[in-house]
Amino acid sequence: MCGIASRRRADEIVRVGGVRVNGLVVKELGHRIDTEKDTIDVGGEIIRPQKKRYIVLNKPPLYLTTLKQEGKKRTIRELIKDIPERVYPVGRLDYDTEGLLILTNDGEIANAIIHPRYKMPKVYVALVKGRVERKTLEEMIKGTRLEDGFAKPDHVEIIKYEAQNTLVEITFHEGRNRLVKRFLLKFDHPVLKLKRIAVGPVKLGALPRGRWRDMTDEELKILDRGTLQCAPTS
């Protein structure tokens, strides 16, 4: 909630004695605190819960999906510097890929978006080299084996032909590295341009490139509902 670390990393920090509550080291993971009264110290820094924030960014191409400066390449940090809360990207988009990127400081919502358990669909529009024939489209729908396992899109369709290239819409609920590009290349149609236009109920719509907006209450409600429905039982 304070943007210090992921849940797993936070557990590790607690276990090694990196957290003090009212001056006392606490290593018990189930220890309860009162955020209004207790003082929480992590590594010598007093922390307090942040307001939860849910950002939808239209990432331009040629921006790194990171908040750290890496060489001379531009990063998405430049695009969200007016947001006071510490939000983090949920998943990533390749350097040359554009489109919808969600940032938040809410670990539950982030997990609902990226964890395979929730099967959150991610929709992309890809301009691929060559004309995709109907027979090839039918093979794509069946799926294919990649170097890291079988891949089958939830949906794929031809939008239109552009000269000797093809614009296709393709949906995966998985989040494997460069999955869309590797999948389409397997059918001899390398991606020329790639844009993500939706993640679950969150749509890019007419949001201008390089701009962000807050997630709507309805989008957040649907994500919350999906988290509750898919939550594992113990």
In a domain, 234, yes or no: no
Report the domain count for the chain. Answer: 3
End-of-domain residue from the set 31, 47, 63:
47
* Residue 70 sits in the same domain as residue 135: no
* Residue 127 sits in the same domain as residue 189: yes
* Residue 95 sits in the same domain as residue 137: no
Identify the domain containing residue 109 by its residue range: 54-118+201-228
Q: pLDDT per residue over 166-195, tens digit each?
A: 999 999 998 889 999 999 999 999 999 999
| Nearest partner of 172 among 192, 190, 199, judged by Cα | 199
For residue 3, the model assigns a pLDDT of: 65
Helix, strand and coil content of the chain, in percent to the nearest 5, comes to 25, 30, 45
Q: At what angle do helices 217-230 and 107-114 cross, to 10 degrees?
A: 70
| Nearest partner of 10 among 2, 213, 50, 34, judged by Cα | 2
In a domain, 82, yes or no: yes
Enter the pTM of the model.
Answer: 0.80
Angstrom CA distances, 126 to 23, 57, 79, 123, stand at 54, 19, 24, 10
Q: How far apart are CA 52 and CA 87, in angstroms?
A: 9
CATH number of the domain to which 23 belongs: 3.10.290.10
pLDDT band at 56 (very low <50, low <70, confident <90, very high): very high
Residues designated as active site: 94
CATH number of the domain to which 212 belongs: 3.30.70.580
Q: Report the DSSP beta bridge partners of residue 18.
A: none
In a domain, 61, yes or no: yes
* Residue 105 sits in the same domain as residue 168: no
Q: pLDDT per residue over 77-128, tens digit each?
A: 999 999 988 899 999 999 999 999 999 998 888 988 988 888 899 999 999 9
* Residue 87 sits in the same domain as residue 132: no
Q: How far apart are CA 122 and CA 124, in angstroms?
A: 7
Encoded amino acid at 27, one letter = K
Q: How far apart are CA 121 and CA 141, in angstroms?
A: 15
Whole-number percent of the chain with pLDDT over 90: 69
For residue 71, the model assigns a pLDDT of: 82
For residue 234, the model assigns a pLDDT of: 35
Encoded amino acid at 63, one letter = Y
In a domain, 222, yes or no: yes
In a domain, 65, yes or no: yes
Q: pLDDT per residue over 28-52, tens digit each?
A: 988 888 877 889 999 888 887 778 9
